[in-house]
Structures are given as C-alpha cells and as structure tokens.
Structure 1
Amino acid sequence: ATQLISLLGWSSGLIIPIAIITAFSLTGLNLLGARLGSIVQNLTLIIKLIPIIIIIVFGLINPHAQALQLWPIHPGEQVSWLTALNGGLLAAMFAYDGWISVGNMAGEMKNPRKHLPIAIISGLGLTTLVYLFINLAFLKALPIGQLAGNTTAAADSALAILGTFGGRLVTIGILVSVYGAINGYTMTGMRVAYAMGVNNTIPLAHHFRKTTPHTKVPLLASLVQLAVAVVMIFMGNFDFLTDMVVFVMWIFNTMIFGAVFILRKKYPDLERPYKVMGYPWIPIIAIIGGTFIVISTLFTQFSLAVLGIGITLLGIPSYYWQQRHDNEQDLN
C-alpha cells in the first residue's frame, strides 16, 4: 500500500484500505487451491527478479554513482551500539524469514527428502546474494542518510538510477514482488493453524482441520488468519509489528534447533524424510545466533519483548482447555 500510493501520488489515508483489499485478495486466491497459490508465487518470483536485476546492473555501472563510504558508522537517535545492531538484525531476520516457512509445505511435497533442502539452501543463498548486491546499488544511488528510515528506498533508488519512466516501471515490479511475498506468508501461514487442528492442539480443532471440498485448502484457518491480518493492519506500526513477530518467532526457532538434539537422542532409529546437514555444528551455530537475537531484544526493546511474550502466553490456557476437552470426549 505504501509503495502504491507513492507510485500513483495518492493520499496516505488510502494505505489501510489498500492493505485490507490486498489481504482479502490473497486469501481468496489461496482458497482456490495450493496449486494456484504456488503458480502465483513462482510468477511473482520471476517478475520480482526483473526490477531487482535492473537496479543492480544499472546501479553498479552508474557513472554518476555516490561515493561509497560505510565507515565510520554512528547509531542514530542517540542509541547504543547494541540497540542499533538489534534493530537492524530484527529487520534483516524479517527479510530472510521465509526460509523456515518452507517446512510448513513439506507435507505437500512429493519428495521432501530431496526438495526441502534444495528449497531452503537455494532460497537462502539466492536471497543473500540479491540483498548484498541490491543494497550496494542503493548505496551507490543515494546517500546513506537518504536511505536510512526510508520506506520507499527501492523506488527512490530506481528513480535516481533510471529516471522518472524507468523508476516507475521498476516500482511496479517492486509492487509485484511485495504482493508475491505476502502471498507466500498467506499460503504457508494458514497451514500452521491447520496442522494444529490435525494434532488437536488448538480450540475448535475439528473446525480448523476442515478443508474446502474441491481445493483441499484449510478454510477456517485461512479466515482466522485474514481476521488477524486486518486487526494488525489497523494497528498501523509496521516496524513494531514485524520486530515483535521476529522476536517471538526466534524464541520458537531456537527451541526447534534445540529439539533436533533431543529427537536425535530419544529416537536415533526413527525414519527421517529429512536430516540436518552438518550436524551437530549447524544446529549449534543456529542456537547461538537465535539466543543472541532473543536476549539482545529483551535488553534493548523490553516493552516489545514483554508484549510479544504476553500475547504468545495467551495460547497456553487455550491449549490446556483443548487437552481437557479431548480427555472429556475420550471418557465419554
């Protein structure tokens, strides 16, 4: 929505309505089937690479490029190094976050043993290279002071590199890219609540595990996800929401990394469709990194961390209510 009003010169008052329309359209699209959602994801992936490649190529060969100077770095707004590092880290982790969501689709993969590691490694590797080169192009297009805190940095950089017409074309490509990213979260997110319904770990589990008759897409899970998205849209502070989500997700990510050791020890002979490569060093490095993210957020953004933990803990009573409900049904 922010990119669209910047492109068309519309009023900022349209940000929330456009965001809501986007959420509804993507939910409706994914209700038509996982195959269609995957096609949209693949198409937007291809389309999003076009403006990215254009910005990278023309940005790096730009004869009028800015002098690239990263040092010395001074944290803005009179904050400490740890606070500045944590803020940048949470934003970066949100940008990379899609890799772990691939696991939500593993049950629908024909050969997860082969395709899951390929998807994760190639996805992370390509994303890392793209972010590295496109940020280099941004820094050569605009002064770092103009990029810091800029919500339309990509569009402004494209404008500086390619002029008005080229900048607008690239901005349209960026819009497609963002739409595809939200589609990915929509497609994988609804399957989390569905999986909880299948495992009876969520209230109204028998409703959450129901799918649409023809397309076999989780119905209630998708509608609840849409409702939560609309509520979050009205909250308005995107950076606060993403930082809180990343903090909470990395609590669970770190526990997942630790669970690899527990499962390997408890069930050494269990047939595994996918095994972590580089065991035990890769999980150890992941645990160290995840622990740093969680602890640094607690120290630097305490109120955000407490709110995120508080909202998460609300799930505990509902979990025990569901377990009690299941036990009563078993007795009956």
Structure 2
Amino acid sequence: MESTTNKKKFKRSLGLLDATMIVAGSMIGSGIFIVSADIVRNVGSAGALVLIWLITGFLTITAALSYGELSAMFPKAGGQYVYLKESFNSLTGFLYGWSFFAVIQTGSIAAVGVAFSKFAAYVFPALSENNIILDLGFLQISAAQLTAIILVVSLTYINTRGVKEGKTIQTIFTMTKLIALFGLIIFGFILAAKADIWKTNWSNGFAISKLDGDTLVPYSGIAVMGAVAASLVGSLFSSDSWNNVTFIAAEIKDPSKNIGRSLFLGTFIVTLIYLATNLMYLCVLPLNEIAHAANDRVGVVASQKIFGDAGTYIIAVFLMISTFGCNNGLILSGARVYRTMAKDGLFFKQVKKLNKNGVPGKALWIQCIWASVLCLSGKYNELLDYVIFVVLIFYILTITGIFRLRITKPDLPRSYKAIGYPVLPFFYILAASTICIMLLVYKSDSSLPGLGIVLLGIPIYYYFVKGKNKPTK
C-alpha cells in the first residue's frame, strides 16, 4: 500500500553528524587497502605515491567545496541530477541520472558487495569466489556473488523501513570504521614501523618510473602524464561517492548550510585518513611488497606485519564493517535520484511514490535488482573501469554549472558560496579535463565504453520525453 497524504513528503531527520557520516561512510570502502599497489607499480616511488593521494585529496575537497554552493541554491532531493538540469537542461541532467543508474551507483554497489564477500571469505572460507554454487555453462554463480546479493537485498530492505533505520546503520558503522582505521594507523606506526624501510622507500624521492618486477623503468615524455592519470583512477574511485549526501537533501535539517559543511568535513577527514594510511604503509612495507601484495591487498599484508598471524582476520573483519557501511550509504542515497527523475517524467512513473515509511521503496528495489544483476554478471570490475571517466565528465560539467548559474541566475539565494571561486573551481575543471584526456589516450579501452554508456542515454531520454508528452485519451 502506498503512502497516505501525510506521508507524501520526505522527513527532515538527518543532522550535520548524520550527513557527515554519509559523506565519509560512502567514500571509505575497500579501495584504500588495495589501490596503492597499482599506484606504486605505475609511479615507482614513495614520493609519487604520496603525491597521487595529495592530488586526489585536493581535487576531492575542491569539488566538495564547489558543490556546497549548488546545494545551497537547490536544497532538494536529487543532488547532482538537479544541479545539471538547472545549470544546463533536462537532457544533461538525464544523461547523468541514466549513467548513475546504469553503472555509477549500481556498479559501485555491486563491487562493494563483492568486496565484502571476498574479505568475509577470510573468516568464512565457504564464501569464497572459488566456491561455485551453480554452473550453468554460460554463467557461473559463486558463493561470493550470492553473499554480495544477500547483503544488497538486506540493506535495501532495511532502508525501505525508513530513513531513521538507514541513518542509524550509517552512523554506527562509519564511526566504527573511522575509529578502527585510526587504530590501524596508530598501531602501524607504533608496532611495525621501521626507520630503514622508510629511508629506503624514499631513496627515489618523487621520481616517476614504472616498477616492472624489481626494476624501475623510466617513462619518456608525456607518458609520465599517462602514468599519473592511470594512477589517479584508483585513488579517485576510492575517494568517490562523497556527493551522495546531496541526493538526500530533502531529508537533511537546514540543508542549505549542513550539506556544504558535511561535504567539507567528510572529504577532509577521509583525505587525512588516506594520507596517514599510505604513510603508515611506507613505514611498514618496502615498496616492492606494496607493489606486489597478493591480489593487491596491501592492507592485509600491512596488518600481518602489525598484528602477526591474527592480522589477516583483524583486517578482514574491519573491511567487512567498512564495506557494509559503505554499501548502506550508496543504497540509501542512490534511490533518491531515480525518484526525482521519475517526478520529472524521466524514469518509471511508479518510482516517484514514497512508501508508508516516507522513503522511495520502489526506487530502492529497482536499484537493488539491477545491482544484483551486475553482481551475477561478473562484469562489475570492467564497469568500474568505466566509472571514473564518466564520473569526472559529470563533475566537470557540474562545477562548470556554477560559473553558468552565476551569469544566468544571479538572483538565486546563495547562503553558501564556493570557496576560492573562481580560481579553485576553474583549477578543478582544468585538472579533471586533463585527466580525462589522458585517460582517453592511455586507457581508451575503458574510457571509450564509458563514454558510450553516457551517449546511450540520449535515445532513452527521448523515449521518456515522448511518453511524457504523449496525449491521453
């Protein structure tokens, strides 16, 4: 049964702490424990590794500060979809919403769900991806995939019960993983840091070279830029989803102020944690061990150095907590975008309705179904290669929208303005555009399909527009 009249509107029940926990919790998944291996292989030095994370943090915080102005102007559900629609037109907004549904949010939910099951397999071996439950020839379904789906379905159900349930899980799990991460960093420095390892790791300073086995191979010319761009794919993805809080603006108290504050606080906290974690790695592990960690799981190797044999289980439990909280944030916020699109006639009509608990129940279940399909497809890793290119395109467009809105809608109330405007937003646009160009040149196998997913939304947009304008009898 759908909601009654007094249930038609979202409830503003999320405070600044809740919003900040959604920002931080949606950002921290398993990436910080994995992607540093690939970064070291690409850049070959401790200085360059730290530089990549510094660039990532600077770009993330700059974008978050810019989004604060947009959230103050449009403090309603839908976030980035609304910003793009208001800055440009409904087609631009739809292309973001379509990409968001097709790969950005649902692909992230699937990948984080599978990451949860892979680390759960350290504690419960039966959940391993090597444990094939069903083999249909054309499709193999592993215990890890089923575990991921069960996680996604369970969190979706909890979030259909109301925003209070979702926010409680988010706050508890995010606080837990923040405390645990700080603990891991502190114990790493106290129990396992070695001065000789630190000194040896920094012997090449900030030089950028490819680490091929144990050999450093210098890049030539512009290939250095390609290496940096390729390295940023992992770190930027690990720092992404900070904008999820903008999707639930209609449920945040005093959104024109609290969204901007939560964006800054959440991204700043996570940036500090990510930098500290990598500095800890460099104190505990030689560069070669970081680069060649089994399955790129640097966090597991570091935890073993810190806690001995128990380290594997400690980090596995921690990562289960981390990915559980991360997925809850993604699931909670994502459905609000589809609901706003449906209200604009650009998604399935039934999705715009709130259930009796005042949340978009059908939007949550549609998101759940597609994310589960991506879990079963086994293609989530390929999809995630496309994500960061697509995400950067829309971040560039959204921040460009700040400049456009200053000209086209100067009288809109702006209780919060982008810090460092116009210099910082322009720098972000320039830097992100450079990364996109480098990805097109050096990672065209993932960036071009990503662009194709976006463009596929154009005929779908006109399908919905045609249906919206179709005369009724």
Settle same-fold status: TM greater than 0.5: yes
Which amino acid is the alignment partner of residue 197 of structure 1? Answer: A
After TM superposition, the structure 1 = structure 2 runs for residues 117-132 of structure 1, keeping only pairs within 5 Å, are: 117-132=260-275
Conserved in 2, the CA contact under 8 Å of 1:160 and 1:167?
A: no
Give me the TM-score of the superposition, normalised by structure 2. 0.65
Conserved in 2, the CA contact under 8 Å of 1:56 and 1:134?
A: yes
Q: Write out per-residue CA displacement over residues 283-321 of structure 1, whole angstroms, 9 at most, x where no aligned residue.
A: 212211221222111111112112111122222112112
Q: In structure 2, do the counterparts of structure 1 residues 184 and 284 end up closer, same or farther at CA, with 3 Å as the change threshold? A: same
Which amino acid is the alignment partner of residue 157 of structure 1? Answer: A
Note the C-alpha offset of 1:52. Answer: 1.0
Between 221-230 and 122-131, report the one with greater CA deviation: 221-230
Between 311-320 and 177-186, report the one with greater CA deviation: 311-320
Residue 208 (str. 1) matches residue 325 (str. 2):
no
Q: Write out per-residue CA displacement over residues 136-161 of structure 1, whole angstroms, 9 at most, x where no aligned residue.
A: 11222222223236443212211210
After TM superposition, the structure 1 = structure 2 runs for residues 229-240 of structure 1, keeping only pairs within 5 Å, are: 229-236=371-378, 238-240=380-382
Q: How far apart, in 2, do the equivalents of 1:100 and 1:158 lie? A: 30
Aligned equivalent of 1:17: 146
Note the C-alpha offset of 1:167. Answer: 4.7
Q: In structure 2, do the counterparts of structure 1 residues 133 and 235 end up closer, same or farther at CA, with 3 Å as the change threshold? A: same
Residue 67 (str. 1) matches residue 197 (str. 2):
yes
Q: Write out per-residue CA displacement over residues 59-102 of structure 1, whole angstroms, 9 at most, x where no aligned residue.
A: 11235536121425432468843343222211111111122222
Which amino acid is the alignment partner of residue 210 of structure 2? Answer: P
Aligned equivalent of 2:258: 115
Which 4+ residue blocks in structure 1 deviate beyond 6 angstroms?
A: none
Q: How far apart, in 2, do the equivalents of 1:152 and 1:272 lie? A: 44
Note the C-alpha offset of 1:179. Answer: 0.9
Note the C-alpha offset of 1:166. Answer: 5.1
Q: How far apart, in 1, do the equivalents of 2:409 and 2:363 lie? A: 31
Q: How far apart, in 2, do the equivalents of 1:165 and 1:201 lie? A: 51
Q: How far apart, in 2, do the equivalents of 1:73 and 1:169 lie? A: 33
Higher relative contact order (CA 8 A, sep 6+): 2
After TM superposition, the structure 1 = structure 2 runs for residues 145-184 of structure 1, keeping only pairs within 5 Å, are: 145-148=288-291, 150-165=295-310, 167-184=312-329
Residue 253 (str. 1) matches residue 395 (str. 2):
yes
Give me the TM-score of the superposition, normalised by structure 1. 0.91
Q: How far apart, in 2, do the equivalents of 1:46 and 1:212 lie? A: 29
Note the C-alpha offset of 1:196. Answer: 0.7
Residue 143 (str. 1) matches residue 286 (str. 2):
yes
The one of 116, 119, 138 aligned to 1:3: 119
After TM superposition, the structure 1 = structure 2 runs for residues 1-332 of structure 1, keeping only pairs within 5 Å, are: 1-10=117-126, 11-13=128-130, 14-62=143-191, 65=194, 67-68=197-198, 69-70=201-202, 71=204, 72-76=207-211, 80-148=223-291, 150-165=295-310, 167-202=312-347, 204=348, 206-213=349-356, 215-236=357-378, 238-272=380-414, 274-329=416-471
SS at match of 1:309: helix
Conserved in 2, the CA contact under 8 Å of 1:51 and 1:170?
A: no
Conserved in 2, the CA contact under 8 Å of 1:51 and 1:174?
A: no
Aligned equivalent of 2:20: none
SS at match of 2:237: helix
Note the C-alpha offset of 1:258. Answer: 0.7
Structure 2 spans left out of the alignment, 5+ residues: 1-116, 131-142
SS at match of 2:370: helix
Which amino acid is the alignment partner of residue 24 of structure 1? Answer: V
Which amino acid is the alignment partner of residue 438 of structure 2? Answer: S
Which amino acid is the alignment partner of residue 4 of structure 1? Answer: A
Structure 1 spans left out of the alignment, 5+ residues: none
Conserved in 2, the CA contact under 8 Å of 1:158 and 1:171?
A: no
Aligned equivalent of 2:3: none
Q: How far apart, in 1, do the equivalents of 2:467 and 2:381 lie? A: 38
Q: How far apart, in 1, do the equivalents of 2:468 and 2:416 lie? A: 31
